[in-house]
Amino acid sequence: MPQLDPAVYKVAWIAPLEIEALAAWHIMDQQHEGRFALGPGDDYVYRAGNMCGHNVIIATLPAGQEYGTGSAAALASQVKKFFPNLWFGLLVGVAAGLPDLSKTPPRDIRLGDVLVAFPEKEAAGLVAYDLGKETPVDGFKLLQSGHILATTEPIVGSAISSLKWFAPNESHHFSRYYEAIKDKEHIGGTFGDPGQDQDKLYETVGGGGERLLERPLRPAPKRTRVWYGPIGSGEKLMKNAAKRDELRDKYNLIGLEMEAAGTMNRIPVGVIRGVCDYGDEHKNKAWQPYAAAMAAAYAKAVLAQIGPKSKTSDAAASTTGQTNTVNQPPTYHSIFNGRGIQNSGSGNFSVGGSMNIN
């Protein structure tokens, strides 16, 4: 088996769950066949490939390891040490979505939508909601007001902003990536859409009860929405609707997850999550594959905005140059000139025909 060189991999794709890592693996343009040389003190095995011209490693937690911020911190620390030339990282996977239909306009987050951690006014893009101190006067106070100390690389934020220009229709820029992997198989089935009719949202009512909300089906071209805003990161799996709503309203959160707070100060990642549940007692794993695939598709669209300075040689990724080529859609770029958007094939955004943003 060929030996892979850690020095040529510059993007870390962290996918804590196995289904998240499988979505990342299938969405690669080229899958690098080989392994990294490991020794005592190396606790993780990495997959590698090429995506949008970038050599990318996939890091995931071993089966049976407890999930949460601590495990994510350990994984990120070893990734940073093992790959000496990392440029930036992406944390890509699933999360609980936090709809708020009382807002104007309604925050109608649905299963399979994509959540992107993004600063909003005075709010941080990522809120460590259970990291802080309890005081007799003020009660529980978030550490650093909930702000994660490290921030992602500016280039990742710029790439996300480039896609955000097209909200609420940015799914046109990544839906083809999902289509390329939706029928790929994993041990539980495929990455296919369970169907909008299976998306059930309950709201809490007085006395601890709940009521099923009726929401119209979205038309097929608008099946997937991307939501930008603060994402809460904590150590506990959320299955409590009342606590979920309390956190949502207190910090204006769009979602909840369990790894970003542990990862961020080791590798400043961009946080991209697919909605697989609503953080209540109805939580199950049925939507995880589809949500993981949609998050992976959006993350690939982010990478597509970041053109490498020189074309990455797949042969350089291993000593023997063995690769497996998959999922290679055409490159493109969109021109926004005040009149509309058209595809033209180069991979950059051009504003008014004069400024390129990658």
- pLDDT tier at 143 (50, 70, 90 boundaries)? low
Return the ∠ at Cα 156 (arms to 222 and 25), rounded to 5°.
70
Range in 4-8, 50-54, 336-340 the model is least confident about: 336-340
Provide the CA 41 distance to its chain's centre, in angstroms: 28
- pLDDT tier at 163 (50, 70, 90 boundaries)? very high
Burial of residue 137 (number of CB atoms within 10 Å: 0-12, 13-18, 19+): exposed
Give ranges for CATH 3.40.50.1580 in the chain. Answer: 3-327
Q: Are 228 and 236 in contact (CB under 8 A)?
A: no
Per residue, the 3-state secondary structure of 129-189, as one string, reads CCCEEEECCCEEEEHHHHECCCCCCHHHHHHHHHHHCCCCCHHHHCHHHHHHHCCCEECCE
The residue that leads in pLDDT, 284 or 276, is 276
Mean pLDDT for 229-239 is 85
Position 123 scores a pLDDT of: 66
Position 141 scores a pLDDT of: 55
Position 120 scores a pLDDT of: 75
Position 165 scores a pLDDT of: 93
Mean pLDDT for 259-281 is 90
Whether the pLDDT of residue 74 is over 80: the answer is yes
Mean pLDDT for 294-300 is 98
Whether the pLDDT of residue 132 is over 70: the answer is no
Range in 177-186, 207-216, 285-294, 325-334 the model is least confident about: 325-334
φ, ψ for residue 47, nearest 5 deg: -95, 160
Range in 65-79, 154-168, 210-224 the model is least confident about: 65-79
Topology of the domain covering 3-327: Rossmann fold (3.40.50)
The residue that leads in pLDDT, 36 or 242, is 36
Residue 285: DSSP 8-state: S
Q: What is the pTM of this model?
A: 0.85
- pLDDT tier at 323 (50, 70, 90 boundaries)? low
Closest by CA position to 329, among listed 349, 303, 310: 303
Structure tokens at 358: 């990658």
- pLDDT tier at 276 (50, 70, 90 boundaries)? very high
Position 12 scores a pLDDT of: 97
Preceding omega of 168 cis (within 30 degrees of 0): yes
Position 150 scores a pLDDT of: 53
